[in-house]
Amino acid sequence: MLLHKYTLGFSPCPNDTFIFDAIINNKIDTEGISFVPVIADVEALNHKAFNKELDITKLSFFAFAIVANDYQLLDSGSALGKNCGPILISKKNFKLSEVDKLTIAIPGKHTTANCLLSIVFPNVKLKKEMLFSEIEEAIINEQVDAGVIIHENRFTYQAKGLKKIIDLGEYWEAETQMPIPLGGIAIKKNIPIEDKQKINRLLRKSIDFAMQNPSSSTEFIKKLAQEMDEEVINKHIQLYVNNYTQDLGVDGKQVIKRFFERLYQLGITVKIGDNLFLNNL
């Protein structure tokens, strides 16, 4: 069988390595599709998508607004849910009224985390971009006053003596009554439709395999995880991998559309057309 080869970008975070393990490590039949993994921090993946470097990639939903003319969202693989959003933390006790004057570390300009920070605190001017895994130490070492943490850091910051200023995800959920769309899997529009649908199906099979065989991906996850503590890894997967990860469905797709409509209303992004998804509503 002639192999069709495609680059596949995802982060080293446990929720990504959990769902992509089977498709990358040949634990399922990939039906003539060969995947070349590109593993990088989510903001690096965002920039690769801006440059059209990757055929398929995980990216922030906020970043997707920039590449919507060239990419579509797949049905599976998204990080979308409740009580899983980014958190603004600090070493010292700061009031919400003081946040505008703080120097704040962010995990990337185009991350959904920074998008939410901008929504909640539109007057914050002093932001410092850095790898998400470096933010806690930057706060501890007082390189910045505060930072927006994502991924497994939400499980580790308190043990390091850091304090929550506000949970940005909870704010979004209270304001909109919607789950928070964090990141999704995008595929280039110019890939043949037969391959796009096959890749969409294979990703769902990879996720189903992972959920049915949860210990199968342990070695792959630990090889790449920033936080090696097994309890933290398991909490991470349980929080970010859910029914929306298996399939966005009508509800998940409507949430994402409403997210982009809200960003457009706030003047944060341009208006996005209706052709967001490989399989539209």
Domains delineated in the chain: 4-81+181-265 (3.40.190.10), 87-176 (3.40.190.10)
First to last CA, the chain: 33
- Closest alpha carbon to 2 in 185, 194, 189, 208: 194
pLDDT per residue as tens digits for the range 41-85: 999 999 999 999 999 999 999 999 999 999 999 999 999 988 888
Can 151 be counted among the known catalytic residues? yes
193: tokens are: 């439709």
77 and 101 in contact (C-beta within 8 Å)? no
Record the pTM.
Answer: 0.91
pLDDT at 246: 96
Q: Under a CB-based contact definition with an 8 Å cutoff, are residues 27 and 216 in contact?
A: yes
Q: Which of 4, 110, 151, 236 is catalytic?
A: 151
Say what the pLDDT of residue 225 is: 84
How crowded is residue 67: how many other Cβ atoms within 10 Å of its Cβ?
20
Tell me, letter by letter, the H, E, C secondary structure of the chain. CCCEEEEEEECCCHHHHHHHHHHHCCCCCCCCEEEEEEECCHHHHHHHHHCCCCCEEEEEHHHHHHHCCCEEECCCCCEEECCCCCEEEECCCCCHHHHHHCCEEECCCCCHHHHHHHHHCCCCCCEEECCHHHHHHHHHCCCCCEEEECHHHHHCCHHHCCEEEEEHHHHHHHHHCCCEEEEEEEEECCCCHHHHHHHHHHHHHHHHHHHHCCCCCHHHHHHHCCCCCHHHHHHHHHHHCCHHHHCCHHHHHHHHHHHHHHHHHCCCCCCCCCCCECCCC
Contact 182, 61 (CB under 8 A): yes
pLDDT at 2: 55
Give me the pLDDT at residue 232, please.
Answer: 86
> Residues with Cβ < 8 Å from 164, sequence gap 6 or more?
87, 88, 89, 157, 158
pLDDT lower than 70: segments of the chain: 1-2, 226-228, 281
> What's the confidence (pLDDT) of residue 266?
87
Location of structure tokens 């890749």: 199
